Amino acid sequence: MKEDPYAEKLAWFKQNERPEAVLLIADEPDRIKIVIAWTSLDVKRAKKLTKLKGEFENEVWAWLWENAE
Closest CA to 18 of 1, 39, 33, 42: 39
Q: What are the pLDDT digits (tens) for 17-63?
A: 777 766 777 788 887 787 778 778 888 999 999 999 999 999 999 99
Residue 59: predicted pLDDT: 96
Tell me the mean pLDDT in the region 3-20.
86
Is the model's pTM score more than 0.85?
A: no
Terminal Cα-to-Cα distance of the chain (whole angstroms) = 23
Distance CA 61, CA 28 (A): 23
Tell me the mean pLDDT in the region 8-22.
82
Residue 53: predicted pLDDT: 93
